[in-house]
Amino acid sequence: MTIEKRYDFVFLFDVQDGNPNGDPDAGNLPRIDPETGMGLVTDVCLKRKVRNFVQLIKDSEEDRKRNDIFVREKAILNDLIAEAHQQEGVKDKPKGKEKTESARQYMCNRYYDIRTFGAVLTTGENAGQVRGPVQLTFSRSIEPIVTLEHSITRSAAAKEVENDKKGSEEENKELSERGRMGRKFTVPYGLYRCHGFVSAHFAKQTGFSDEDLELFWQALINMFDHDHSAARGQMNARGLYVFEHSNSLGDAPADSLFKRVQVAKKDRVEVSRSFDDYTVSINEQDLGETKLHRKLG
């Protein structure tokens, strides 16, 4: 059964001594708002981690019939779309709107990320376009972040030329150091805030169910624990505050609900280096028919 209510949520997460989301156009530096110095993490970055978590825990053959992942590593998207056109109930449809809709419905039923976030399915055989019920904003840090650059080295040579002794001792040393030196960028600490929206109207179009929604909350809370790497340092989910409306249209504007969740640095803390340096206060008064669920924090 598809969800019948609208949801808006605030998601808090932090990073310590890591790069939460590198910018490929800036040499993989942590993304930053140049005017304010606030750190940024794209919605695509978080969606990738949600996909990875679902793929990790829904790995049985039975699970993949309902919770497979469309946008995954080494997947050929056009092949997956073509596969949908060969399914029973699709391949026998006459070409045109009816066949496209049948293929689109199959893709929604099969792939969790299409059902959740939507997808463009017109890159090969046409399976239409899907607008997903779950949408995320860019995450923005509570305070300006500091980006540190670290020099790193390795002792092993990657190519034989790095061990070549034809030059002078100084030339060989310079060549060796140049080939074995690298750069690493980190944020000493940053607490990020993301806003999200879940539409019951779009859920009906994709078949996004209450079970799918619970899996999404589970992914947000646990995805960083299964995504550790040396580059990302230590990342943790710190808060998930979900506003459940009483109907599909909603009881209040999302912005007014988001303002009820306030994050501030504690008094006498000059430089924040942990989540304990912040306080999270929530105004739960006069919510009316809207319910607040503290999934985390």
Q: Partners of 39 in the beta sheet?
A: 32
Based on the fold, state whether residues 46 and 128 are members of the same structural domain: yes
Based on the fold, state whether residues 31 and 127 are members of the same structural domain: yes
Residue 120 lies in a domain: yes
pLDDT greater than 90 at residue 178: no
Domain that holds residue 174: 154-182
Based on the fold, state whether residues 13 and 141 are members of the same structural domain: yes
Based on the fold, state whether residues 171 and 28 are members of the same structural domain: no
Residue 39: the pLDDT is 98
Decide if 236 contacts 224 (C-beta within 8 A): yes
Based on the fold, state whether residues 234 and 129 are members of the same structural domain: yes
Percent with pLDDT over 90 in the chain: 84
Based on the fold, state whether residues 15 and 65 are members of the same structural domain: yes
More confident residue, 124 or 287: 287
Q: What does the chain come to in residues?
A: 297
CA distances from 251 to 192, 254, 290 (A): 27, 9, 6
Helices (H), the chain: 43-57, 61-67, 77-85, 97-110, 112-117, 169-180, 200-206, 210-222, 254-258
Based on the fold, state whether residues 173 and 275 are members of the same structural domain: no
Residue 176: the pLDDT is 52
Decide if 3 contacts 244 (C-beta within 8 A): no
Based on the fold, state whether residues 174 and 251 are members of the same structural domain: no
Residue 150: the pLDDT is 92
Residue 253 lies in a domain: yes
What is the number of structural domains in the chain? Answer: 2
Q: What is the mean pLDDT of residues 47-74?
A: 95
Residue 2 lies in a domain: no
Residue 93 lies in a domain: yes
Based on the fold, state whether residues 66 and 163 are members of the same structural domain: no
Based on the fold, state whether residues 191 and 175 are members of the same structural domain: no
- Residues 261-285: pLDDT tens digits? 999 999 999 999 999 999 999 999 9
- Residues 201-255: pLDDT tens digits? 999 999 999 999 999 999 999 999 999 999 999 999 999 999 999 999 999 999 9
Residue 180: the pLDDT is 72
Report d(CA 122, CA 244) in Å as an integer.
34
Q: What is the mean pLDDT of residues 182-203?
A: 96
Q: Which long-range contacts (CB under 8 A, 24 or more apart) does 156-163 make?
A: 156/180
Residue 175 lies in a domain: yes
Which of 108, 21, 127 has the alpha carbon at shortest distance from 70? 108
Based on the fold, state whether residues 217 and 82 are members of the same structural domain: yes
- Residues 97-116: pLDDT tens digits? 999 999 999 999 999 999 99
Residue 205 lies in a domain: yes
